[in-house]
Every structure is written in C-alpha cells, then in structure tokens.
A and B are shown apart, each in its own frame.
Chain A
Amino acid sequence: MLQWLKKRWIYLVAAILLIIIPFDWFLGKYNTLLIFIGLNTMVTVGLCLLMGYTGQVSLGQAAYYGIGAYFSAILSKTYGVDPWIAMLIAAIITGTFAYSIGYLIFRLKGNYLAMATLGIGIIVWILFRQLSQFTGGPDGMSGIPYLSIGGFVFDTPFKRYYLVWFFTLAILLISQNIIRSRTGRALRAIHGSEDAAESIGINVAQFKVKIFVLSAVFASLAGSLFVHHLRFVSPQQFNFLASVKLVVMAVIGGLASIWGAIFGAATTNILSDELLLNFGELDIIVYGLILMLVMIFMPQGLFVKLKETITIWRARTAKKD
C-alpha cells in the first residue's frame, strides 16, 4: 500500500485537486474558465493524435467542434430531441463527415493538406452563417436546453464542471491507451516514414482517416457539451481564429504529449480570457507570434520543456544532498 502510494501519489493529489477545485472556497469563481479549459483539452487531444503522433496537419479543427455544437443545438432545441441522443447523433454525423473529407484530402501532404483542411474549415464556417433557417445565421441560437440525467439537471457551472471534466479525462485516458497500443505504433510509424510503414504492412491511408475521424468525434463531443453549457451558439466561435487557437494549444502543450493538452488549453484560455481582451482583433497576431516562438525555441512544446527542466533540476538538487 505504502509502496503503491509512493509511486502514485501524484495521481492521488491530481484526483483530489480535480474534485475540490470547483468549490466556492477554492477556485469556484473560475468554473466557467475551467469548463472551457476542459472542452478545449478534448479538442486539443484529438489534434495531438493527428498532428503530433501521426504527423498530419489540421488547420480547420474548429469546424468539427462547430458541427457537433450546431447539430446538438438544432436537434435538441428546434426538434426537441433528448440532448444526450442529440449529442450521439451529432458525433455520428461529424464522424461520417470527417470520414468522407478524410478519404479525399489525405492523399495530400504537407502544405497542401494544411490548405485543404483550412479551406474546409472556412467553408463549414460560412455554412453556419448562411444556413440561417437552421442555424440562426450570424446571430446564432440561444435557449438551448441543459443536459440532465434523470431528474438531475446540469444547470450550474459547478455541476457542469464535473460533467465536462468527466468527458475530458475519459478522452485523455482513451487517447493514452491508443498511443501505447498497436494502433499508436502504427500512427507513429506513419509519422516516422510512410514508405517504411507501408513496407511492414500498415495501411497508411486508412490509419490517417481513422485518426482524423476520431479527432473529429472528440471535437464534436466537446462542441455538444459546449452548447449545453453556454446554451448559446454562434458562427464566430468556430471561425479560423478558433482553429488557430486550437493549434496553439496543441503546440504549447507539446504536439506529441497527451497530458500536455491540458496545459496548452489552460495557458491559452487564461491568456485570451485575462490578458488579450484589450487586443481586440489583433489577438491573432499574438497567437501567431506565440506559435512561432514555441516552434523555434522549443519545438517539443512548452509543457514538455518544463517537464524536462524540472527533471534536470531535481536530479541536480538530489546530487547536492
């Protein structure tokens, strides 16, 4: 037991923290921010699987976040579908959409792939604005119902914090399991060398599409939770800047680091909520700058860099003792 504790204490501390964080006497006043960090983490993890592990760029990930959000909103509000069922249908639709897109665009590589994903992201965003009889156009939709289980309604940020972080942790764990598996090795092999991957029998095209669909489904689930949290949805939440911000989160967290996604999402959200408000439309320049600096000076990501620095520092202090 003691042995176990010694090795796993960090998980125990993390679990206790996660449980007590949303209380008023702790960080309760930041619950809305914490919920967004959770939602963005879900999308970012998908991006890490796609970009960091498989080496495939997506500059339009906000589109899948948005498709999940809009289908949940429209189904549950306009058509009165149960929000959980709406969430499931939204995920299936997003997945199917991503499958057909992926099938077409993963013939492309590098900059061409980046351009294609970017283009699709913009087209989807335009559709959100133009299909106004369904989506409410540029003004968006409001009055979307809360999620509930039996009679228990997720009607306060405190309750929704647990809901969102339940999903976030589930997605983090699932992703970690995948990375350590046969599939994870196949993905990393594709990143390493597509020719070598094919030579050992990996169906490169199929795995690229598979992981793209998974990342889109993660984004869709986050989008559904998003609309049942805010009860409001509008196109500008899923525009090009939103896609760029997601990439920034993934890069700061370290593209090939599943748990770094939380760190990336947290830093970026705090930055945009607390510091960049005064920048108005210029914030995209700041994100671009961050992206460049991190890529140049710590391509493995800020989170991984910090982790390494701490390890080195601990080894040094241990030596002194």
Chain B
Amino acid sequence: MSEFILQTKDLSKAFGGLVALKNLDMSIEEGKITAVIGPNGAGKTTLFNLIAGVYSATSGEILFKGTRINSVPPHKRASLGIARTFQHALLFGNMTVLENIMAGQHIRSRYGILEAALCLPNAKREESLILLKATKYLNLVGLGTEKDKEALSLPLGRQKLLAIARAMATEPKILLLDEPGAGLTTLEKRALSDLIHRIIDMGITVLLVEHDMPLVMGLAEKVIVLDSGQKIAEGGASQIQRDKRVIAVYLGEEVEE
C-alpha cells in the first residue's frame, strides 16, 4: 500500500486541438494539504474535473488509494471518498442552507422513494440522523444562525463556506477545493484558513487550487505549479517561492496584466 491517497500517471486531457493538461504525474500524500497553483488557463480546474470524473482522460491514469478509477462514473466517486467544490459555488438555489448540506448526506443514507412515500420508520430514523450530521457540518463552517435562509441569499463568502460544508457532508477522504478564497475579504480568508486546518485535523486530505499566494503559502505543505497544462515545479512552499521558472511564469503574468 502506498501512502499516497491520490495519484495521476501521465495524465493528459485535450479539448480538440487544445491540450489543457499534459502528461501530469502527481502524488498526493494522505492527511496533508497540497496546493495546485498556476496562471489562468493552466489546467487546474481541468485537473479537478478529471479527478471528479466530469471529464474523461484523453490518456493516462488516475489512481485513488492505488486503484485505477478512470472508468468510475462521476456520481460514484463521491462514495469512494472524493468530494469537491467548484470555482463558482454552484449551490442549490432552490433549497435552504441546511437543506444544501443535508443533500450532501445523500450517499451516506440509504432509504429510497418507497420508504419516503409511505413515511416508513426507517425513513424517519435515517432522516433524523441526516439532520444531526448536517447540523454538525453546518456548525463546522459557522453557518448555524443562517440555516433556514435561502442558499443564494447568502453573501459570496458564506456561499463558499456552504459549498465546503456540502462537500464535507459526503464524508470524504479527500476534499478538492477550487479557489475557495476567490472573492473573499481578508477576514474571511483568515476564517477559511482556520477551517481548512480543522478539516485536516479531522484526518481529511485537502487538495487546494488557489490564486492567493499568502493563503497558499500559509496552508500548503506541498505546492505543485502548472503552466499551460504542464507541471513546471513541485516542492515545499518556500522552495517554490524561490524557483526561477515559477517566478518567471508569475512575473510574466503580472506584466501582461
């Protein structure tokens, strides 16, 4: 058994002629925070979509706990223990805050349409358990006082927290966060940073895509840098900050802007 919870081997994804991810080898250590950084269009979200099964790989392999999962359909990857958030929160706008998190408990409960229709005892039992666990994740992200509000009525910062709570409610082994800090105030970013530490303390591995460098450097034990679909550097936070190619890519970016 490897200590790597998630690995990619020679992973590539092309959209027609555009190669969004090219021959990526990556190993994610269990129980740690790994960050993936890189300029816009580097292929970070594409990588997440490959891991989550939204896209199928053009070539290469994705291994979860040493098992190839390339052909596992997306909705089954959540039960394996892979959860993710999206660059845009993608909350369920037709539900309350609490219901969004309860929906996240879907795969951790069993009862079906028939038991629900007839209000059978096991439906009630499971439902109260779902409520209990959802409340736990509600409090984890500190949205307890807003549980009955419509999800989309929350300000952006809180929507992003809710998206994390919903993903956490699937009880994952690895959590993929796509730019959780984007659009957040400094204060909110500090709270987010605390939250991610608490998630790690729960024994969950975190893979983080983020543009905010101070946030990344404060959190990540390992950083992987992508540029135009290729890995250009990998290592500890301080090591990455000194890497010439990384500096070049980021300075290049700033000059363009």
Contact = CB atoms under 8 A, between A and B. Distances in A.
Main secondary structure of the interface of A (DSSP, over half): helix
Interface stretch (B27-35, B123-131, B213-221, B241-249): B123-131
B117 A201 contact: no
B116 A181 contact: yes
Interface size class of A (residues with CB under 8 A): 20 to 34
A2 B66 CA distance: 63
Contact of B118 (A177, A188, A199, A204): A177
Contacts of A201: 75-79, 106-107, 170
B90 interface: yes
Given A192-B91, A192-B95, A201-B76, A183 B112 contact: yes
Contacts of B105: 182
Contacts of A192: 91-95
A35 B151 CA distance: 40
A104 to B, nearest CB: 18
A201 B127 CA distance: 18
A195 interface: yes
B164 interface: no
Nearest to A180: B116
Residue picked from B103, B118, B169, most chain A C-beta under 10 Å: B103
A200 B117 contact: no
Interface string A182-205: 111110110111011111111110
Interface in B91-148: 91-95, 99, 102-107, 109, 111-113, 116-119, 123, 126-127, 130
Contacts of A184: 116
B94 A200 contact: no
Contacts of B84: 199
A178 B111 CA distance: 11
A174 interface: yes
A199 B163 CA distance: 11
A183 B106 CA distance: 8
A256 interface: yes
Contact of A193 (B54, B77, B90, B99): B90
Nearest to A195: B90
Interchain residue pairs A-B with the least CB separation, the first 3? A192-B92, A201-B78, A181-B116
Given A191-B92, A200-B167, A201-B170, 10 more contacts: A182-B111, A182-B127, A183-B112, A192-B93, A193-B90, A196-B86, A196-B166, A200-B104, A200-B106, A200-B107
12 contacts: A182-B116, A182-B130, A184-B116, A186-B103, A186-B106, A189-B103, A192-B92, A196-B91, A199-B52, A199-B74, A199-B84, A202-B75
